[in-house]
Structures are given as C-alpha cells and as structure tokens.
Structure 1
C-alpha cells in the first residue's frame, strides 16, 4: 500500500483550506497595515481611529476572502448571519490574543518589547488564528448537511432512490 493511500480522505481538503485561510489572512493583514497607515499619514486620523478603521476594513476583506474562496464549498446560511458571526468570532480571537499578552505582561511580568511581541503577536495571534479557523468552519461556514440516517444505518427513506417496479 502506498503511503498516500493511508492518509485520511479529508486531509487534502483541510490542507487546502488552511493554505487559503492563511493566504486570506496575509492579504487582510497587508490591507490593515496599508489602510491604517493611509489613515494616519495621509488623512491625519487619530491613532486609535486609524487603527480601528484599518482593522475594520481588513476584517471585511477577510470575511469576503473566506466566504467566497476559503470556504466556498461549504453550506450558505445567509450573508447577514455569516457576517455577524464572523465579527463576533473575530472579537473572541482578539480576546484570546489580548489575554495571552495580558498574561505575559501583568501576571508573568514579561513586559519588554520582545516579550510583548512574542506573547501578543506570535503566541496570541497563533492561538487566535487556530480558534478562528476552527470556529469559522464550525459555525460561520458549516459543512453541508448530510442526508439523515435511518435506524439501520442507511440513508433516510426520503433520500433513497425509488425501487424499480
């Protein structure tokens, strides 16, 4: 038996989704940096306003990329529902990032620039990203529903092909 035949059938799809998810995240990050800096340097926006608007623009880009590319093969549950859940789960991911940074700074006392970057921008972003990927697949862009199973393990009667007469 060849080694590739031993891989679970779902693994190639997961790898593709992860690659697309990472690409969309990278594009959204570049958009966030560009938008924030344009707002700060060109439009003279206050620091927090520029940051917040840059993140908001990047979140819209990430939603569109994930909905129409990363998870395009998944069930559609309505644009408004998906968009609202996406923003809520993004906020949870941000909370994970902030909790990681807060733990490092305020509990462990690691408050230097290197420690803050490792805690917030490496560990926090990593954990938040894992949460986002899992939660988007689970709740925002769920897998298409499978036909119901009857008690004998077969396909439900309504999904069966009619028997020949």
Structure 2
C-alpha cells in the first residue's frame, strides 16, 4: 500500500488538475451536445454548421472554467493573449471534430443525427480533448516563471495549488 500512497503523493497535483480539467470539459461537453442537437433538430442547420456553432459556444464555457478553476495557479499572461491562444487551440480541436464529421458524412456516407453525434460529439471531442489538454498546459496557461518547472519534467510540480495549505 505504501508504493500506491507514495505514487499518489507524487502525482496528486496532476490527478487534481486532470479532475478539474475533466469537470470543466464535462460541462462544456453537455453544452456542446445540447447546442449542437438544438441547431440540428430545431433549426435544421447542416451537419457541419451545427457542429461548428455548438463547438464555439462550448469553447466560451470551457475558457471561463479552465482559466478560473483548472489552471488558476498558472501564470497570468494577459486575458487577450490567453483568450486568443485558447481559441486558436480550440480551433484546432474543432477542426479535429469537424474532420471526424466530414469523414463520417462524405467518406463513409453516414449523415444522420446519430452518426453525427458519434463522429463529432464522441470521437471528435475525444481526440480534440487530448490535444486541448496538452496545448493548454503548454501554450495557453504556461507555468509561472520561477517555479519548479524551469527545465524539469512535469512530475516536478511541487504541490496542488488548489488543495494545498
């Protein structure tokens, strides 16, 4: 049991950060699915347009949550810079989602609401989320200068800033 406890202590900050990231992502995901399906079912928008608009609205929700809850301990490099990079990185994530919908519709010939949900809101969001987490930590919300990260690995994070003290 001691090795497990030691491993948890070593990576506690990362586990808590991932839990916060997942929580914000879950809320944004619900917003994504609700708005996308609203655009498709109520407004009868084309698959790609509905997916893009739903992703854009969920990005706004995600930015607020990640900036103020997932990564509050990271350097504040300016709202304009963070917002711009966040939307660029989310643009890449959205392109991943749209590519999945495009492949489903135009390559595989699946153009139903169920197929669009599977390709865009499940596969696309999953792949995009992996890219988003990595890019947020790397570029959008960088580590504060003067922390343990100056050239060290990610495991050198000293403590969980939200749960410490």
Q: Same fold (TM over 0.5)?
A: yes
Give the C-alpha shift of residue 17 in structure 1.
Answer: 1.6
Instruction: Give the aligned partner of residue 4 of structure 2.
Output: 4
The answer to whether 1:99 aligns with 2:99 is yes
Alignment of 1:71-110 (within 5 A): 71-107=71-107, 109-110=108-109
Instruction: Give the aligned partner of residue 141 of structure 2.
Output: 141
Alignment of 1:13-162 (within 5 A): 13-31=13-31, 33=34, 47=45, 55-107=55-107, 109-111=108-110, 113=112, 114-146=114-146
Structure 2: 5+ residue stretches without partners: 152-165
CA distances 1:7-43 after superposition (whole Å, capped 9, x unpaired)? 27652222212211121122234445369959x97xx
Give the C-alpha shift of residue 110 in structure 1.
Answer: 4.9
Aligned residue pairs: how many? 144
Point out which structure has higher relative CO (alpha carbons under 8 A, 6+ apart).
2
Output the CA distance in 2 between the equivalents of 1:119 and 1:51: 10
Give the C-alpha shift of residue 3 in structure 1.
Answer: 2.1
The structure number with the bigger radius of gyration is 1
Q: Is the 8 A contact 2:89 2:135 kept in 1?
A: yes
